[in-house]
Each structure stands twice: as structure tokens, then as C-alpha cells.
Amino acid sequence: MHIRISRRTIVAGLAALPVAIRVPALARAAPITAPVPVNPLVRQRADAQVMRHTDGWYYMIGSVPEYDRLALRRSRTLAGLSTATEAVLWRHQTRGPLSGFIWAPELHLVDGRWTIYFAAGPSGGGQDVFRIRTYAVTCDGPDPMTGRWTLLGQLQTPWDSFTLDSTSFVHRGQRYLCWAQREPGIDTNSNLYLAPLASALTLARPPARLSVPTLGWEVQGYKVNEAPAVLERNGRLFLTYSASATDARYCMGMLTCSADADIMAPANWAKSPVPVFATAAATGVFGPGHNSFTVDESGRDVLVYHGRDYDKIQGDPLLDPNRHTRMQRIYYRADGTPDFGIPVGNGPVPDRLSPIDQPGRFIVVTGDAVAIGDGPIAATQFRTMPSGRSHTANALTPITRPDLRVSDQPGTAVQLVAATARTGFHQIEGLAGTGVSFRSAGAPGAFLRVVGNRLDIGPARSPAERRAATFAMT
């Protein structure tokens, strides 16, 4: 969200993969796992937060296009969130400071009580409808879907100013709140602040100002740092945030701090000099941002964010309802920092395929062919789509080239062919007793195999050939 002052306009664990049972590979299909989420996961839900609670449920909350209510859904699987029933927990009031827009809610369990932080303003009638402040509601029972929600109050910060996008996390036994606020005396729309909590709405000490938008990509249209989200991995805290206007220029930045350092010392946080996640015309996702973090059913880290399917917007971007909730897996570089790649586009969440004998290398797009190597995350992500070959075969499609598919025909090297071609694979349990293998739908008895640095389609009879035809799916 952003604000234009002149107009007062404001513009969200378990194992990497199931281990295949050692049975004859051709006798069984691949192990049944959780359904694959399909993007957009939920249409017209911006600022989405997805959390997996200890009760085994995934909970999702976000801004609705009407900005008038708090609506929560839950599912046993990530994919199930797309069709899960939504419960309206709380609506804006009929008058007063919470009678207007409701922005960017987040669900947390604070001091044993379900709590939702959100931003709200009055409804007009002579009042400033963009006088946005942060509030919280709490639930009177253990089930947030059925409990009674009541207003707890307003977040108390040092300044009575534009405040939104609160997130909460626990580090070393202390609960913290991180949020966006316009600080008097600083010529920005919003900066990022952090403080330990004494209670759900009371800070235990004065806040630390972690980030001010100063870089070129943070001030496109508006000077914005907002929507913080925290991921603690590999001995560090990674704090992502969103910047610039909420059109196609919206993007994500990241601050990094050692988990052993004093996280209240701004000097201990390093800002990425470039966006870590931004518009990708190649995949058709524009203005990705306001993210949250969760894990999939196998415990793998997942990025949740919103983005549009188009870049041309009529009028105020915040009045355009089509910021859809999306998700994709997070990967890590050798130094332990997250690599978010690019927005993966519409369709099933893609995978990376790594030969089991070559960890750290993947099937990668190279021009009109595929090979084994490394490269940008986006060049190594493939999704499975209906093939047209048979009702049980799927095509492997590069996310950056949705017009192409991996050929299933034997030859000197595997090529990428037009999406209209009849080509596909039967995904089965890995021939080497782990991972997965891909049997050609067009050449019975032939498999996608690794031969040195290239791929071919051929038999998998010997132990060496069976290993060459087995991949880890990540």
C-alpha cells in the first residue's frame, strides 16, 4: 500500500519428498502426495498471509477487494485453500475510526490468544478516510474459524501517524512486532520499524527504524517500505518487504541480520542493493509483493505473495481488484541466502529436477534444448501440464517458455518442441529406488536419462541406466 500526500490516497515439515518404496518401478505410479497448488491460488485476495499451525491446518487471510471485512479460510493442504470456505470474522464498524478501509490483516497466536493485526481508517463524511492506523481483534476460543472476535484496541507507537502492515514473530523467546509507518520529519510514505512486545498492542521499548526507502527501486511512484515478513534460516533472519507503487513497479527487497546479533540494532541489518523479487513479463506476473512465508506439506519453504496478470491498470491500482494470491517454493544459494527466482506464472507450482548422481545440478533450459547444469532458478523450473498424449501422461513445460514442452522422442539430445506437439511422460517412482523417473509416452520402454551434461530418451535396463533415469524433484 502507498499514500500520495497531495491527494491523501493510499495506494501479504517433514521430508523433502516421499521416499519411493522399493518395488518394480513400472508396476506403480509415483507416490501419492499432497495435491500441487495451482496459481493463482486464490483470486482477488491481496496482502495474503498463509500460516501452518500446530493443529495441522493451513490458515489464510488477506485484503478483500471491498476492504470492509476480515475473512479467514483454512485447509489441510495448500492447494485446498483455493476452494476452502471463507468465514467472515469481523466487519468494519458503522462509524468512527474503523468504519472505512480494512487493510492487510495478519493472523497470529499472541500470548495464547488468536489475534489479527490489521489497518483501518474512517469512512469519510468530512473525515480523512486515509487516516490509517493499526488495530487488533482477538478470538475468545481455540478455533479461530468459529470463535467470537472482538476489538482489542489500537497499536501504541511513538507517533500518531499512518501505520499499517504489522507482522509478529518470536526470536530467542521474545515476541517482536515489525510494521510500516510514516515517521514525522522523514519525507517518505512509510519506513520499517521493529520492537519487542510487552503485550499484543504495547511495545516493550522504543522501536528501531530498520529501513527507509532511499534506493531507486524503492521510490518508484511513492517512497515506500512496507509489508515486512520474517524468515529465520541458516543462522540468519531474512526480513523481506515491499517497495514503490502498487502497480507493476511493486517489488520485494530484503534485509539480513545474523541470528546471533542484536536485531534491535539497525546497523546489524544489511539491505539488498537490488530487488529480490520483481515483475516478470516472461511469466506474466506483474507487481509481486506483500509476501508471507509458510512451509508445504513436506516441510519445504514456500513464498506467498500477490501479483496481477497484467501491467496496464485503469485508475488507482488499489481499486483494481485483481491482485491474486500466489505461491512458489523457495530455494537457497550455497551461502544460505534465499533465492526467490522470479514469479512462476499461472499454472501448477513448478519443480526443479536434479539427477540423483549430480546433486546441485538440474535440468536447465538452453535455447531450444535442455541440458544438465546450473543457471538462474527460472531456467531450471518446470511444471507438469496435461500432454494430450494420454490422460495419464503430462508434459514438462519450462516456466519461462510456456509455448514449449520437453520432447519425449529418442534422439541425440532432448529438444524443446511446440506446446501443440503430442509429447509427454508418465511420472513414476524412481527407477533407482528413490526420487522420480519419467517414462516416455511416445516411446514405450524409454526414459528421460542423463548422459554426461545432456539428456536423451532411451532404455533403463542396467543399474547404471536406471540411476541415470532417476531425478530428485525439488
DSSP E strands in 244-368: the ranges are 251-258, 270-271, 286-295, 301-308, 324-329, 331-332, 338-339, 347-348, 353-355, 362-366
- Between CA 30 and CA 13 the distance in angstroms is 20
Q: In what order do the strands lie in the sheet with 86-91?
A: 46-52, 58-63, 69-75, 86-91
Contact of 414 with 452, CB cutoff 8 Å: no
Task: Name every residue whose Cβ is closer than 8 Å to that of residue 104 and which is 6 or more positions away in sequence.
Answer: 1, 12, 47, 62, 63, 118, 119, 164, 165, 227, 290
The DSSP line for 350-405 is PB-EEETTSTT-EEEEETTEEEEE---GGGG-EEEEE-SS-TT-EEEEETT-TTEE
Output the CA torsion sign for 115, 119, 120, 121. positive
Under a CB-based contact definition with an 8 Å cutoff, are residues 407 and 415 in contact?
Answer: yes
Backbone dihedral angles phi then psi of residue 198, each to the nearest 5 degrees:
-90, -35
Kindly name the residue from 226, 247, 297, 320 that is annotated as catalytic: 226
- Written as nine digits, the cell of 95 is 462509524
Cell numbers placing 367? 535455447
**What size, in residues, is the chain?**
474
In which residue are the cell numbers 542423463 written? 450
418 by Cβ neighbours in 10 Å (0-12 / 13-18 / 19+) ranks as exposed
Instruction: Tell me the C-alpha distance between 351 and 466, whole Å.
Output: 21
> Can you tell me the distance from the alpha carbon of 425 to that of 409, in angstroms, rounded to the nearest whole number?
10
CA-atom Rg of the chain in angstroms: 24
Nearest 5°: CA angle at 214, between 210 and 218? 95
Q: How far is residue 450 from each of residues 16, 100, 350, 365, measured CA to CA in Å?
A: 22, 59, 20, 14
* Known active-site residue 226: yes
Active site residues: 47, 226
